[in-house]
A and B are shown apart, each in its own frame.
With several copies, the nearest count.
Chain A
Amino acid sequence: MADVSLAQVQDWLVRAKDSVTEQRSYLTELDSAIGDADHGSNLTRGFGAVVDKLASQPAASIEALLKASGMTLVSTVGGASGPLYGTMLLRMGKAVGDADTMTATQLGEALRAGLEGVVARGKAEPGDKTMVDALGPAVEAFEKALTSGEGAATAATAAAQAAAAGRDDTEPLVARKGRASYLGERSAGHIDPGSASVTLLLEALAAALADG
């Protein structure tokens, strides 16, 4: 089974940018129901900057690429999702280290590290109706697929499906973290915007690995 290349990681982020840009209104719509109507524009701005950055300063390793992208997200997204997604990419880069390819196992470890970073920064628990509710199941599904002998591409597809399921499962939940938590019971009945963007990111990952 082929390793995951630097080019594929870069392709992931380009696809992520295309996806959040295309789904900008959808994400903002979700955020206007239980947040402050900016998640779509936040991520469009952030991933746009990531892609610009990668175009102007090509990275020599996966670690460098993910770190530069994480820093760019932190510095351009603002809001809650900036530090969270930024931390995720920074931790992923650190986990992979200075290499230009990685194994599926390494990618799984990187995703796990990314999840841990998000939790360390945001202190959300499963069921708090945050991006963690999509990212957690996604990481588990990825690891489970590897255990069943699948490669990175198939595992990423499984992760994206688990993320989508996690996203949909946030709908009935009452939020306990982030802006939505201020709504109390009224946050139920809406999908969490961050769980929706996590799903887009994992779908982009699956697409990048499938085509790569």
Chain B
Amino acid sequence: MKKLINAPDDVVKESLLGVAAAHPELRVDHENRLVIRGDSPVNGKVGLVSGGGSGHEPLHGGFVGVGMLDAAVCGEVFTSPSPEPILAATTAVDGGAGVLHIVKNYTGDVLNFEMAAELAADSGAQVEAIVTNDDVAVQDSLYTAGRRGVGVTVIVEKLAGAAAEEGRNLAAVKEVAERVNGNGRTMGMALTSCVVPAAGKPTFDLPEDQMEIGIGIHGEPGRYRRDFAPASDIAEQLLEPVLSDMSFDSGDPVIALCNGMGGTPLIELYLMYGELKKILDGHHVTVARTLVGNYITSLEMAGCSITLVKADDEMIRLWDAPVSTPGLRWGM
């Protein structure tokens, strides 16, 4: 394993030192491993807290700032943080209008955020949670822990963040988050495995002529393995399960995220987006807003995912609203 790190166990802690050094506009709580908006708590604003295992950067720490998250809780690599720091984040961003937890659907995250919410409620805080679960790779989701939360989380954080910034109340911000999640679907794939620092070697072996379709963001194996194929084929394999799960051809504006898993260069991600767009055009999907890049990653894994959100005019307005975070910034 070759990585730009010191000791594997210190990766998250030391990476946060860099975040603090690079972003004086943010506050870093090194003890609890939190990235917090500099002006938190914002009086009268709903506080947004997300978090989970590290290794998905820029998600979540890179999405803290005006118009998006108030705090991110950074667990060990691919390991949910414990309730204690989640509680600390909740307290730190509570500006009196309640706090929304944005949780990706993984058992560890759900259990730890649940325990934290119980503790916060005990001390009188008003906490709601939205669990994202957009990964169509998970079939038979009734017989499993349910679909995983992946790419849509970025868009939930952006739109709920904009809604909170507008001063909406907790129920209304939660409603936006649920609307985005309910209308979002994602499918991802990998060309290579990631390497968890503490493990020191690739999580899975993927032969040079194979790819894994339907992966999550933790090096979990995917839905199936298949012979490595050209980008145009891969685009078909990613979009087929998305488009057959939900219809996106209503004419409603669609937000598309062509996301890199970390190790794939941007030139390839744009090429993939070109292939995806061709298919979307053929299916009469009207993409109104697009992001192409590394937004929710799996360390150095090579691969990509496509997320589509069927939006409406209000959601597009919230998308366009100003945001100022290390990972997503416009309008200010």
* Chain A interface residues toward B at CB < 8 A: 28, 32, 34-38, 41-42, 45, 74-84, 121-122, 175-179, 181-184, 186
Contact = CB atoms under 8 A, between A and B. Distances in A.
B107 interface: yes
A79 B80 contact: yes
Contacts of B43: none
Contacts of A82: 80, 82, 108, 111-112
A6 to B, nearest CB: 26
B76 A38 contact: yes
A179 B196 contact: no
Given A178-B107, A181-B144, A184-B140, A28 B199 contact: yes
Interface residues of B, number: 38
User: Does more than half of chain B's interface fall in helix, strand or loop, or is it mixed?
Assistant: loop
Nearest to A73: B82
Given A78-B108, A80-B108, 5 more contacts: A77-B79, A82-B80, A177-B145, A181-B144, A183-B221
A79 B145 contact: no
Interface of B: 9, 53, 75-84, 106-108, 111-112, 114-115, 137-140, 143-145, 148, 196, 198-199, 203-204, 216, 218-221, 223
A38 B172 CA distance: 37
A32 B196 CA distance: 10
23 contacts: A28-B199, A32-B203, A36-B53, A36-B219, A37-B198, A37-B203, A37-B219, A42-B79, A75-B82, A75-B83, A76-B82, A77-B82, A78-B82, A83-B108, A177-B144, A177-B145, A179-B106, A181-B145, A182-B137, A182-B145, A182-B220, A183-B220, A186-B221
B199 A177 contact: no
B196 A38 contact: yes
Contacts of B78: 36-38
Contacts of A186: 221
Nearest to A38: B79
A82 B204 CA distance: 24
A78 B112 contact: yes
Contacts of B145: 176-179, 181-182
A36 B83 contact: no
B204 A32 contact: yes
A48 to B, nearest CB: 11
